[in-house]
Amino acid sequence: MSNDVVKGPDKGMGVHGRRAVSYIVLILISFLCLFWFYVLFINATRSHAELTKGFTPVPSSFLITNLKNVFTGTLPVVRGMLNSLLIAACSAVLCTYFSTMTAYAIHAYDFKLKKFMSTFILAVMMIPAQVTALGFLQLIGKMGLDDSFIPLIVPSIAAPVTYFYMKQYMESALPLSLIEAARIDGSGEFRTFNNIVLPLMKPAIAVQAIFTFVSSWNNYFTPALVLHTDTKKTLPILIAQLRSADFLKFDMGQVYAMIAFSIFPVIVVYLLLSKYIVGGVAVGAVKG
């Protein structure tokens, strides 16, 4: 009896200690993640002369001036933002929808080449985009798609990483008995997928939609090879052109203001989809 009395407080202290360590680690990680956003927005409020003197944690008063210089400059910043938004949004929608459909086909159907197809899709992940860039440019040149958005949107349908994530999520959240029940009730395959599978996959779709949107939004390599007209270029290309300006025209405050302006859509997309992520985590915790 006395041993239980002694062990009880020790066990309680252990739980509180681990919880305190967890909170400290989370606070530290959050600080490290958010600190660089703070530095970005602080630098966006400073002039080029102030930035050359070094960093200061106090914001300055040149934010409006920097933004005005960004929008009144020679680069079509607003058009570039609309181009990036169109490409990233279409890529996120197509990638998540068709990757989920591919994962559903591998998960719900039995056919001879099932294991081979799954392995082949995962093997594609090992091929970097730089290796296939030359052949990709030759292909779109022969198809007459050079300097257009189509080569930046349509290939996003084939996303092995997204497929793998969806397949893993389906194995834990989509029982085959539910699909069989829908078939017995007379539901067609596309109706089953759109009305039953997709709602169950909302948390996973939200996660991958954010990743795909951010990846497409920040993509510089492929758009720089495909797009040539200034009015069709995306924000990363325009930011790179702004940074590569000659010494007399280079303005670091304008660069920081443009970078800060370019990340707002990403933050908005995350805020819109984060509720599905939190909901999915809560559902998983209840099931566990």
Rounded to two decimals, the pTM is 0.81
Residue 162: closest CA among 215, 111, 234: 215
Residue type, 180: E
Q: How confident is the model at residue 13 (pLDDT cuts 50, 70, 90)?
A: low
Q: What is the mean pLDDT of the chain?
A: 84
Instruction: Determine the average pLDDT of the residues in 198-209.
Output: 88
pLDDT at residue 53 tops 90 = no
DSSP designation for 244:
T
* Dist. CA 70–CA 262, nearest whole Å: 11
Q: What share of the chain is helix, strand, coil (3-state, %, to 5)?
A: 80, 0, 20
Residues 6 or more apart whose Cβ sits within 8 Å of residue 151: 136, 140, 145, 222, 226
The predicted pLDDT at position 29 comes to 93
More confident residue, 81 or 284: 81
Residue 257 tokens read as: 């203001």
